[in-house]
Amino acid sequence: MKLSTRQKINLVTFFIFVVAGPLYCLIKFELMLKYYSLPDKLMQEMAVPIRWSDVWQIFLLAFLLVYTPDFFAQWLRRTFPKRTRNVTRYFLQLTFIGLFVFSVIYSFKQWGEASLGVELPLELFFDFFLICTITAIFSTSLIEMNYLSIQWEKEAVQRELLQKEHLQAQFEVLKSQVNPHFLFNSFNTLSELISSKPKLAIDFVQELSKIFRFVLENRSNEIVELNSELKLFKSYLFLMQIRFGDNLHINWNVPDEKKQFGIVPLTLQILLENAVKHNIISKDKPLHITVELDNGNRLIFRNNLQKKLDEKTVTTKIGLQNIMNRYKYVADEAIDIIETAKEFIVKVPLIKIEQI
């Protein structure tokens, strides 16, 4: 079985504790014999050859000092997985190592004094604590550097993959605005308006042109201001409301001060398109859509759920997965998708422009 770098470092550190620890204690005792007057009982214990009880105690001490901090480090990586928490995670590791090593060494000192009936020299205790702490910190630092190196390589590969997906998503979004189905619906609606409501037909063409202008101007932008996105959404909503009339209801609740935040382009348009595509919209069953903010910087898009009975369409690359991939690529953020019996909710994080 091939050992990982972390396992190799732990194994080497374990044997360092097993061999170097007892050897240091023996040398230290020899030096202390020259300069200090030690208790007779302690002198008698030192004269006895090594026993099996001493061996398992050494191995137990080494195991605790090596693997317990490592288990704690792995737990911290699961608790603070983000790269921005590396300093916090490493600080907690060092703090834990110091406290844990002190507790273990002190416990062994107390146990040794109780079994021998004498007080062990404090100098030996502090020196051994210092050596164990430095060794544990050194091995932990090596493991942490190896972990960060592996994570960096994984992130580089993942970012390259996401970049490819992002470019593909941009292309798919652009195609979605000029696909035959979209154009057919738009021109079909426009032809009806020209004969019946020519003034409204002019407005329809103007709003349609705004959509195409936005797509062309922002096709290479990763982030746009929420204010610009809302203007596009209103243009797209205008086209939808021409088709569905009062059967499509929109409720807005977005404060002006939040409109300077950033959002992935065409997010709201895709969410509206998704809601229209998958739900019944009629006089008896109007579609209600709410766009609002939660207590944090998250934009909430919710609609009442009334799926089509013959629903055969599925979310494609231009749907929710598109938004998820682009948010992961641009800001390393996730969107929340919640489906209940009555509602479909998508929570999209707003992004500070300067963080990109």
Mean pLDDT across 102-123? 71
Residue 145 has pLDDT above 60, yes or no: yes
Residue 339 has pLDDT above 80, yes or no: yes
**For the chain, where do the domains classified as CATH 3.30.565.10 start and end?**
179-355
Fold for the domain defined by 179-355: Heat Shock Protein 90 (3.30.565)
Return the exposure string of 45-77: e unless at least 16 CB atoms fall within 10 Å of the residue's CB, then b.
eeeeeeeeeeeeebeebbebbbebbbebbeebb
Mean pLDDT across 310-327? 65
* Structure confidence at residue 345 (pLDDT): 94
Residue 85 has pLDDT above 50, yes or no: yes
Tens-place pLDDT, residues 118-134: 666 666 667 777 777 77
* Structure confidence at residue 187 (pLDDT): 80
Rounded Cα distance between 33 and 36, Å, is 6
- Of 334 and 301, the one with more pLDDT: 301
Rounded Cα distance between 11 and 31, Å, is 30
Can you say how many angstroms the Cα of residue 49 is from the centroid of all Cα atoms in its chain? 55
Tens-place pLDDT, residues 11-64: 666 666 555 555 555 554 554 444 444 555 454 455 444 554 556 666 777 777
Instruction: Give the count of beta carbons closer than 10 Å to the beta carbon of residue 97.
Output: 23
Nearest to 265 by CA among 231, 291, 242, 239: 231
Categorize the per-residue pLDDT at 346 as very low, low, confident or very high, splitting at 50, 70 and 90.
very high
Residue type, 268: L
Tens-place pLDDT, residues 148-179: 777 778 877 877 777 767 666 665 655 554 45
Q: To the nearest whole number, what is the mean pLDDT of the chain?
A: 75
Residue 251 has pLDDT above 70, yes or no: yes
Whether residue 104 contacts residue 67, with contact meaning beta carbons closer than 8 Å, is answered with no
Q: Tokens 């609609």 map to which residue?
A: 303
Choose the most confident range, by mean pLDDT, from 22-31, 134-143, 294-303.
294-303
Mean pLDDT across 191-204? 87
Categorize the per-residue pLDDT at 2 as very low, low, confident or very high, splitting at 50, 70 and 90.
low
Q: What is the CA radius of gyration of the chain?
A: 33
- Of 38 and 277, the one with more pLDDT: 277
Mean pLDDT across 80-95? 77
Strand partners, 140: none
